[in-house]
Amino acid sequence: MEETCHKPSSSPNAEEMSNGSREDEVIAQATDSSAVMPSGSNVSPKKITKKVELPPILKINHPLKHRWVLWHLNNDRSNKTWQAGLSRICDFDSVETFWALFNNIVPPSGLSQACDYNVFREGTEPTWEANKGGGRWLISVNDELDVCWLELLLAMIGEQFGEYSDLICGAVVSKRNKGDKVSIWTHDQNETTGNAHIRDVLQKKLSAQISANRIRFAEYEKFWIQVHTSYSSMDTRTQVQNGEKIGEEGEADVPSVEVSPPTGDAVLPVSLTIKHPLKHKWALWHLSADRNKSWENRLNEICAFDTVEDFWALYNNIRPPSALQWSCDYNVFREGIRPMWEEEQNKRGGRWLISIDKVRHNDLLDIFWLEVLLAIIGEQFGEHGEEICGAVANIRNKGDKISIWTRDASNSAANIKIGEILKKKLLSADLPAHIPHPPFDVLRYENHDEVQNKSGSTVKARLTV
């Protein structure tokens, strides 16, 4: 009855790697619904619980040009050597794995004093000794440390320095009592043209996001390249810039020591993780298109999530509904509820149905699916949210559908309120200009029992909005 066709997803360019403000929206809604909001470094990590291995056909991956490694320096004075505080945390080589990492760690402003984050190319250690002959552009940050760090990272891993991107070794953010600093390291101090180009690009990029009085780069001379040698043998011409000494006094918090590189990936320290819990735990299910299996054997629970960060780590690593094969479904249901009519929590319920008219445009499927997910996990239905069991995206040749399932079809008051909120949210979604308006004619509420026992192609709507 339904054909099978795989629809590829598009790849972002280097400038389009941001999540936008959607994470903030879910966090705000979680706050409104009285979810517990953790305070950064005190949060225990809650990993995504895999039920089955994510099928390759669901994975989405936008590779970076290089593989990068996150390091953490805990410059605890109790450490006998500097190297004892340096740990390799993990590596990433795609847009999705970058965001999965970035959204799950404490930002630089949340680090303890004397700590660093280092993001360096795989194979390059964040030490002076491993980068001798190179240098760094150093930025002193009065405020907006997190913004400055993110902009620098996106420019670096997104290869926004053009032909001179390969000069770059990595970037460092240092949390210090005397003043926070961000730097980008290059491997050849004698490549003056390339280093100057990197400075200019970085200055332009940061100027677009941060006021000049918050970081020290309003004038070019407020950047400097500091030669990567031990301080005792540093070229005296690099020790003074703009009347400020850059030597043993100015940089005493970065000792010159012999460093043995750490090996292997460390477990992400609890002190670096940040989580914003959702009110409920949710599970993603996938219904495959394999007609040689029974319906129940086609249905697999992929993983569960209960924080904002774990939701985005999952969402950004799987294909959108529009890229699934026909006859496939995505289901996101509360933990403990299977996406089946026969389930105890579902059998007396119904669904609000959104029919995606492909004549209007298939882009609606992905946009509306995300809007529905953010609404249900972000508790945007107020007191009526407890009636919601989950959401389903059906990919079908004749027309795709998205639905929100509720537990009690007879509770008309709650169901009509859910429908009204859903309609308002979908109509206010940010849609591309090429999609005709309105994006749908009407939302219908159907009883599960009547859908199961229908004799024709449709059933009579219990409610409409």
Residue 400 has pLDDT above 60, yes or no: yes
Of residues 7 and 348, more confidence is placed in: 348
Of residues 403 and 46, more confidence is placed in: 403
DSSP string, 237-301: GGTEETTEE-STTTTTTS-----PPP-SPPPPPGGGB---EEEEEEEEEEE---TTS-HHHHEEE
Q: Which residue has the tokens 């249905």?
A: 299
4-39 tens-digit pLDDT: 333 333 333 333 344 444 444 443 444 333 332 222
| Cβ proximity of 108 and 149 under 8 Å | yes
| Cβ proximity of 44 and 270 under 8 Å | yes
Element (H, E) at 136: strand 135-141
Of residues 266 and 231, more confidence is placed in: 266
Of residues 8 and 117, more confidence is placed in: 117
The per-residue pLDDT for 121 is 96
DSSP string, 32-45: HTT-----GGGPPP
281-327 tens-digit pLDDT: 999 999 999 888 998 899 999 999 999 888 988 898 899 999 999 99
Residues 6+ apart with CB under 8 A from 163: 194
Give the span between the Cα atoms of 180 and 116, in whole angstroms. Answer: 10
| Res. 71 pLDDT band, cuts 50 70 90 | very high
Percent of the chain with pLDDT over 70: 71
Among 69-83, 212-226, 430-444, the minimum mean pLDDT is found in 212-226
Give the span between the Cα atoms of 415 and 447, in whole angstroms. Answer: 11
Give the span between the Cα atoms of 287 and 464, in whole angstroms. Answer: 28
Of residues 220 and 266, more confidence is placed in: 266
Distances (CA, A) of 239 to 55, 128, 135, 221, 223: 55, 16, 13, 14, 13
| Res. 459 pLDDT band, cuts 50 70 90 | confident
Structural domains in the chain, CATH included, are 22-57+274-464 (3.30.760.10), 62-270 (3.30.760.10)
The pLDDT mean for the chain works out to 77
Give the span between the Cα atoms of 392 and 395, in whole angstroms. Answer: 10
Residue 271 has pLDDT above 90, yes or no: no
| Res. 363 pLDDT band, cuts 50 70 90 | confident
| Res. 150 pLDDT band, cuts 50 70 90 | very high
Of residues 343 and 114, more confidence is placed in: 343
| Res. 453 pLDDT band, cuts 50 70 90 | confident
The per-residue pLDDT for 439 is 87
Of residues 141 and 162, more confidence is placed in: 162
| Res. 370 pLDDT band, cuts 50 70 90 | very high
The per-residue pLDDT for 360 is 59
For the stretch 85-91, contacts whose Cβ atoms lie closer than 8 Å and that sit 24 or more positions apart, written own/partner, are: 86/126, 86/127, 86/259, 86/262, 87/262, 87/266, 87/269, 88/262, 88/263, 88/264, 88/265, 88/266, 89/265, 89/266, 89/268, 89/269, 89/272, 90/265, 90/266, 90/268, 91/67, 91/122, 91/265
SS3 category, 346: coil
Q: Which residues pair with 181 in a beta bridge?
A: 140, 174
243-265 tens-digit pLDDT: 333 333 333 333 322 323 333 44
Percent of the chain with pLDDT over 90: 43
| Res. 268 pLDDT band, cuts 50 70 90 | low
Average pLDDT in the 334-349 region?
95
The per-residue pLDDT for 93 is 92
3-state SS, 413-460, equals HHHHHHHHHHHHHHHCCCCCCCCCCCCCCCCEEEEHHHHHCCCCCCCC
| Res. 218 pLDDT band, cuts 50 70 90 | very low
